[in-house]
Amino acid sequence: MEKIIITVVGKDTVGIIAKICTYLADVNINVLDISQTILKGYFNMVMIADREGSSVDFSKCQEDLEKLGETIGVQIKCQKEEIFEMMHRI
């Protein structure tokens, strides 16, 4: 597995999750877990996904998601999972 963490922050609107998931499906990235809240009208989401077998490399995926975020009006950040594992697990 090659886990990635996708973080989305921005003003809530229709179809944020749909658009992101459509992109992930197109490039063969499997979603493992989604946590999402709306805080004072702001959409916050953390998504864990597996990019093993994906048709695009990590930096392309990062770029695509960033651009997608711009079109939706939210900020999409994509990081490799290891930084969180290292920091929060002994």
Partner 1 sequence: MIKYREVVETNEMIDRENLDVRTITIGISLLDCMTDDLDKLNDNIYNKITSVAAKLNETAETIGREFGIPIVNKRISVTPIGIVGSSACKCVDDYVEIAKTLDKAAEKVGADLIGGFSALVSKGMTSSDELLINSIPKALTNTTRVCSSVNLASTKTGINMDAVRLMGQTLLEIANLSSDRDSVDCMKLVIFCNAPDDNPFMAGAFHGVTEADAIINVGVSGPGVVKNALESVRGEDFETLCETIKKTAFKVTRVGQLVAKEASRMLDIPFGIVDLSLAPTPAIGDSVADILCEIGLEYAGAPGTTAALALLNDQVKKGGVMASSYVGGLSGAFIPVSEDQGMINAVEAGAITLEKLEAMTCVCSVGLDMIAIPGSTKATTIAGIIADEMALGMINQKTTAVRLIPVIGKDVGDTVEFGGLFGYAPIMKVNEFSCDDFVNREGRIPAPIHSFKN
Examine residue 19 and tell whether it contacts partner 1 (CB under 8 A).
no
Distance CA 71, CA 73 (A): 6
CA-wise closest residue to 38 among 88, 79, 74, 81: 74
Nearer to partner 1, 18 or 87 (CB): 87
- Least distance from C-beta 10 to partner 1, angstroms? 14
Distance CA 71, CA 62 (A): 15
Examine residue 7 and tell whether it contacts partner 1 (CB under 8 A).
yes
Examine residue 84 and tell whether it contacts partner 1 (CB under 8 A).
yes
Distance CA 23, CA 4 (A): 15
Contact 20, 65 (CB under 8 A): yes
- Least distance from C-beta 83 to partner 1, angstroms? 4
Binding site for partner 1 (CB under 8 A): 5, 7, 32-33, 35, 44, 46, 48, 58-59, 62, 77-88, 90
